[in-house]
């Protein structure tokens, strides 16, 4: 009985770091997926609305915060979305828009 319990505990202890890393990577991919959607929406707004006067724009979506930056001069502009996940890892995705 004690031998089976110790084998079970060893198996759990070996699997725990793998499960934690998998959860972290899945969260990072969720942030990136949401950032790509935001980038697409902001690019569409820039192209078809009046454009933006601000160089940076903070977007809060639920508990997540993204920073949208604009760089360049009309007609070609570079839009980037920056974010930081809870494990102090930073991410960035960029796209270009030509008006």
Residues 15-51 have pLDDT tens digits of 999 999 999 999 999 999 999 999 999 888 888 876 6
Residue 47 confidence (pLDDT): 82
* pLDDT above 70: percentage of residues in the chain: 95
* 73-91 pLDDT tens trace: 777 889 999 999 888 889 9
pLDDT at residue 52 tops 80: no
pLDDT of residue 14: 94
Cβ(77)–Cβ(96) below 8 Å: yes
């Amino acid at each position: 009985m004690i031998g089976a319990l110790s084998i079970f505990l060893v198996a759990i202890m070996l699997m725990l770091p793998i499960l934690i890393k998998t959860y972290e990577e899945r969260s990072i991919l969720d942030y990136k997926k949401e950032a790509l959607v935001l980038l697409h929406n902001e690019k569409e707004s820039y192209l078809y609305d009046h454009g933006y006067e601000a160089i940076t724009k903070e977007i809060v979506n639920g508990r997540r915060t993204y920073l949208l930056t604009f760089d360049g001069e009309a007609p070609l502009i570079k839009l980037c979305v920056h974010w930081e996940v809870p494990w102090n890892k930073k991410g960035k995705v960029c796209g270009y828009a030509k008006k």
